[in-house]
């Protein structure tokens, strides 16, 4: 994720992250995506997914600025 975030930063493009519902995203939205990720094959509550995504973005950012990865 850190490598991907660094590529986003270097490209200077706007990034949009969408969280799909229990049935996924609308096919037209999904077709426009440059990349698709799956956090889990499970259906997770939206508030939990947002927290997990925020945590992963934070971890990627700390790695990019040189903080050691904690366990």
b (16+ CB within 10 A) / e for 39-48 = eeeeeeeeee
In a domain, 20, yes or no: no
In a domain, 33, yes or no: no
Q: Would you say how long the chain is, in residues? A: 71
Domain count, the chain: 1
Which element (helix H / strand E) includes 41? none
List the one residue out of 48, 14, 49 whose CA is nearest residue 34.
Answer: 14
The structure tokens 């934070």 sit at 58
In a domain, 27, yes or no: no
| pTM, entire model | 0.74
In a domain, 26, yes or no: no
Print the domain residue range for 71.
1-7+43-71
Give Cα 64 to chain centroid, integer Å.
16
pLDDT single digits (tens) 2-55:
888 899 889 988 888 988 888 888 999 989 998 888 888 888 898 899 999 999
């Amino acid at each position: 994720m850190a490598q991907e975030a660094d590529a986003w930063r270097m490209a200077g493009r706007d990034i949009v992250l969408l969280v799909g519902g229990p049935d996924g995203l609308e096919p037209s939205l999904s077709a426009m995506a440059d990349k698709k990720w799956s956090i889990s094959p499970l259906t997770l509550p939206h508030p939990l997914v947002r927290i997990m995504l925020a945590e992963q973005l934070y971890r990627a950012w700390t790695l990019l600025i040189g903080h050691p990865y904690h366990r």
